[in-house]
Amino acid sequence: MARMAANLTYLFTELPMLQRFAAARRAGFDGVEILFPYDLASKDLVKAAQTEGMEFVLMNTPPPNWAGGPRGFAAKPGGEARFRSDFDRAMRFANVMKVRHLHVMAGRAKGPAARQTLIENLKWAAARAPQQSLTIEPINTRDNPGYYLDSFELAAEIVAEVGAPNLGLQFDAYQAQMIHGHVMPLWEQLAPLARHVQIAGCPGRHEPSSGSFDFTGFLRALEASNYDGWIGAEYLPSTSTSAGIDWLRSA
């Protein structure tokens, strides 16, 4: 049975970050995602997680300059040195925190050179950290204009071409529905590549039980495919996190 992880970048934001671990545990989560943990000391994050008996499931690279800044450098021609520097910094955090998956962000780029740059950077990263599970995630260009990795087919091609055993697909059901208009057929096709799953309602990226996303049907599809990894709750609460958490109790 898949386990649920709270994305603390999105959830329980009414609390300081280090207090969100306890709130997530009380709500019924077993693990956490933190997209960009770099503004806090890793030892403090580890202590907060250990106190609640929670696992760090996912974090992102690179360190952020998120407000109007880059969305990663992995696919940006000429950005190789920045990508490698960011990756090494991310791995220092990931090693201390024992993060299960590190999401490598492609960034904004286009054209054949971007594809080759992404492939070469992922090959380098996979060899640089052979014991670390790495993921790539397609992200829709309505929310993130210009993001290079903008389809699940492209992501599957990149994973296959890199051919590294520690690289897989991050299957975000919200992104699947935003990009392709459906989730189930993509999951049936790509489940063998999936290392991590994320959920949110669509449209709006609110609670997984909201919008047109068939949350319970997707959970059944995960179970039918014998997916036994984590499911990350990466959504924007429509009010407070606690007020909209009933979906988790029915999962």
Q: Are 119 and 67 in contact (CB under 8 A)?
A: no
Burial of 22 (0-12, 13-18, 19+ CB in 10 A): middle
Cis peptide before 62 (omega within 30 of 0): yes
Helix/strand/coil for 22: helix
Catalytic residue among 14, 52, 137, 188: 137
Cis peptide before 203 (omega within 30 of 0): yes
Residues whose CB is less than 8 angstroms from the CB of residue 111 and which lie 6 or more positions away in sequence, other chains included: none
Q: Select from 24, 110, 111, 119 the least CA-distant residue to 74.
A: 119
Residues present in the chain in total: 251
Q: Is 188 an annotated catalytic residue?
A: no
Catalytic residue among 33, 157, 188, 234: 234
Residues whose CB is less than 8 angstroms from the CB of residue 57 and which lie 6 or more positions away in sequence, other chains included: 5, 31, 32, 33, 99, 100, 101, 196, 230, 232
Q: Are 59 and 40 in contact (CB under 8 A)?
A: no
For residue 231, what are its two tokens? Answer: 């499911």
Q: Is 223 an annotated catalytic residue?
A: no
Residues with active-site annotation? 137, 234
